[in-house]
Amino acid sequence: MKPAPFEYVRPESLDEALAALAQHDDAKVLAGGQSLVPALNMRVLRPGLLVDVNRIAELDGVTQNGALRVGATVRQADARLHAHPVLAAVLPHVGHTVTRNRGTVCGSIAHADAAAELPLALLLCGGSAVVGSAHGRREISADELFLGPYTTALTPDELLVETIWPPLAKGEGFAFEELAQRGGDYALCMAAARVRGDELRVIVGSVTPTPTALEVDPERPGESAAAQVEPWGSIHASPEYLRHLVRVLVDRVVARAKERAG
């Protein structure tokens, strides 16, 4: 199939892009397009306007002064070259080499797929998203950003300008693991843990509508995590099997994070 008709603009500045979004309630932003273009072709999405931000130089940057700040058009393959350990661990699991060469970090965050690795990673880091509109900018924490499958706290006139990835503190340990049927497939289940002293943060994804932080029992993390999720199941795995995966993966990542801590 081919997309439904739409208007197309390719602004040269961020102000131009934000002005275009302000004038159209049904606009979509094109950066990497790895999720957007298939949705257009299948006519799942029918925007009236496509705003191509790839020529906006100020969005194509990575800076690091404590936290890592990743601009809206930075490709996933390029982000992996920078020194954030969580991104370096998670990005090889995101899609395939070809899609990582084109897909953007911020695009995956804004798309908010429940089975995507990068939203889970941002939540694990306690990161945030900086969004802009014609009225100014605001920062949304990862805890408040993801509202549901493919749904974020952004308003229709806002653009995700950059994501902020705080550094791990000295002595912290983390781990990430997922299970997919094949490399590059969407994960059936994924889990991540972060440990600092007596503090334990556990995030699960693919089995919940959004990446979800769980309060787990440090003595039996997998069992207590599995009791808190209600997987919907699919043709690939039953709810019972997915709950089993939560138990196994959470136990693994907590154990590995504890080993790395300190």
10-residue averages of pLDDT along the chain (262 residues): 93 98 96 95 96 98 94 95 90 95 97 97 98 97 97 97 96 97 93 96 97 97 98 94 98 97 83
Distances (CA, A) of 13 to 16, 22, 23, 65, 163: 5, 15, 16, 25, 19
Please tell me the distance from the alpha carbon of residue 194 to that of residue 123, in angstroms, as a whole number.
11
pTM: 0.95
The position carrying tokens 């009225």 is: 135
Buried b (16+ CB within 10 A) or exposed e, 148-162: eebebebeebbbbbb
pLDDT on residue 33: 96
The position carrying tokens 């791990």 is: 168
Sign of CA dihedral 56, 61, 65, 69: positive
Of 54, 24, 56, the C-alpha closest to 36 is: 54
pLDDT on residue 80: 85
Phi first, then psi, for residue 11 (nearest 5°) are: -70, 155
Please tell me the distance from the alpha carbon of residue 141 to that of residue 151, in angstroms, as a whole number.
15
